[in-house]
Each structure stands twice: as structure tokens, then as C-alpha cells.
Amino acid sequence: MHKDIATPARTKEILDKYGFSFKKSLGQNFLIDPNILEKITGYAELDEKSGAIEIGPGIGALTEHLARKAGKVVAFEIDQRLLPVLEDTLSPYDNVTVIHSDILEADVADVISREFAGMERVAVVANLPYYVTTPILMKLLESRLPIDSMTVMMQKEVADRISASPSTKEYGSLSIAIQYYTEAETVMTVPKTVFMPQPNVASAVVRLKMRKEPPVRVEDEAFLFKVTRGSFVQRRKTILNNLQASMPDGKKRKDEIASALEAAGIDPGRRGETLTLEEFGRLADSLYPSFG
């Protein structure tokens, strides 16, 4: 076994060797606790027939743990300064490929078919950069990639929104989108002390298992998410008011919106946060002929 990258002393040694300074704009916080990494990879349930995709490997702390468990690891790193570092720290592992790319611009489907041929399953496992957590998750989900789970660390506040239930203050359009594609569960919270530098927010690890079929059938997926986002524009307003503000010409077409709500069996006086995914599905389908 090689000396773990994820200890404070070894991390400091690597950073000093390369004269590396953290870029705030990239949300770089490196994990320095091997036990936490062991737990994260455990939740991802990897074996030698699994491919793992990592986003933002940093100096390779989590990558190393993935390489020990998965058949193949592909890590996307946006920061060019880290490429030589990763080449060095991951040199003991011959099953890792590092791609210098922004995950939001990468053709992930192409990478999967190229890099994971012969693997039985593909999982995303990552300590996500906090400032782009939501766009990354949505891109991976909306692309309908052949992955079967994501075990990802994020800001605890975002984790709470992802696994929130209706009528809670965390529940919103993000909760609905994630729960449409996946079954979401927060599996652990992570103290600030296990990062270098320490972030100023608490973190949590969420496990998302892809659904084979979405829990509701709708005419148009993109329109469903447009309706859910429009329903939370101002949380304190009623669903009727929010839809008037967010639908094209909504102010003039109040009656059409009201009758769509009625057709979906939803009281126009309710607030968006009280609607279940199923109700949003009915509402989207009932608005679609006029506004889709």
C-alpha cells in the first residue's frame, strides 16, 4: 500500500513540492482524512467491474481510493496546474485517466463509451466544487448518461435541498428535478476540519441512485422543470401568482392558468412548496397545450 495522499502532512508536502496555491474561484478544498474517503468509496459500492468518474480530483486524494476499488477511474480536472501533480501522485495506479477539461463542456457520454468498455456499471464519485454543484448535477442527469449512481460531496445546504420533502423550507425546484431522475439520500455529514483549506460551510455526501423510469410521466420534461422553477420564483406567493409572473404573457392569461390549475386539481391559493412531484406533473401537462 502506498502512503495515503489524504493526510495533512502528505498533502502539505505535495503542495510545497509544486508550490501550489489554492484558487478560490475554483472552489478548491482538498480532503485530508483517509477515513472519510474510505466511507465515500464504500457508499459508492465499487468493484473491479465498475468504472468511476471523478470531477475535480485536486491532488488525487479521493482518486487514489477509487483506483484501489474500481476497475477504471476517469477524473476530469479543470486546473492545468494540477496535471503534473496528479501524474506524480497517481503514478502507482495504472487504472486512472486524467482528462484536462471542464466537466460542463465535456462530452461525457463519449468518454464513458471510450474509457469504460467492458465495465458492468459506471458511477460518479466526487467532491464537487461547491460553486457549480447544481449545474454539474443537472448536466449529468439531463444527459441521460449510462451511469447508475452518483455519490457526491457538496455543501450541506444543497444536500438538504436535494433530499427535501414538500412543505419544508428546503424544498424547491432543485429537489423536484433531482427526485425526478434519482432516489436521493444524504448518507453522511462531513466536518469542515477534514479539508485543506477549511471551507466556511458544512458539507454532506449525497447518494443518488438513478431511476430506471421517472416517477411521473409528462408530455415534456423540459416544460415540467420550467413550470417547477416558475412556481418558486417568490416563495411566499401563491402558485397562481408565481405562474402569472413566469409564464409567457401570464398576466394577461390569468384565466387560462387558473383553469389549468383547476383541471390538474390544484387549489390556485396554494404555494409551490406544498405541491408534490406528482402534482407538478399533472400541472405541467395541463399547462402544456397553452404554454408549452
Burial class (CB in 10 A: 0-12, 13-18, 19+), 253: middle
Q: Tell whether 241 is in a known binding site.
A: no
* Helix (H/G/I), strand (E/B), else coil: 18: helix
Place 199 in a pLDDT band, splitting at 50, 70 and 90: confident
What is the reported pLDDT for 281? Answer: 98
What is the reported pLDDT for 25? Answer: 66
How far is 48 from 54, CA to CA, in rounded Å? 16
Q: Tell whether 102 is in a known binding site.
A: yes
What's the number of CA atoms in the CB half-sphere (13 Å) around residue 210? Answer: 18
Q: Tell whether 56 is in a known binding site.
A: yes
Class assignment of domain 8-210? alpha beta
Q: Tell whether 77 is in a known binding site.
A: yes
Place 213 in a pLDDT band, splitting at 50, 70 and 90: very high
Span 116-120, average pLDDT: 96
Burial class (CB in 10 A: 0-12, 13-18, 19+), 287: buried
Nearest to 73, CA basis, from 91, 50, 43:
50
Residues 41 and 64 sit within 8 Å (Cβ to Cβ):
no
Count other Cβ atoms within 10 Å, centred on residue 153.
24
Class assignment of domain 221-291? mainly alpha
What is the reported pLDDT for 129? Answer: 86
Q: Tell whether 66 is in a known binding site.
A: no
pLDDT digits (tens, 9 = 90+) for 45-55: 999 999 999 99
Asked if residue 193 has pLDDT above 90, the reply is yes
Q: Tell whether 4 is in a known binding site.
A: no
Sign of CA dihedral 57, 65, 90, 72: negative
Place 222 in a pLDDT band, splitting at 50, 70 and 90: very high
Asked if residue 203 has pLDDT above 70, the reply is yes
What is the reported pLDDT for 23? Answer: 75
User: Phi-psi category of 84—alpha, beta or left, where left has phi over 0 and alpha has psi -120 to 50?
Assistant: alpha
Domain definitions of the chain by residue range: 8-210, 221-291
Average pLDDT, the chain: 95
What is the reported pLDDT for 89? Answer: 96
How far is 263 from 41, CA to CA, in rounded Å? 47
How far is 103 from 55, CA to CA, in rounded Å? 7
What is the reported pLDDT for 1? Answer: 58
Q: Could you tell me the pTM of the whole model?
A: 0.92
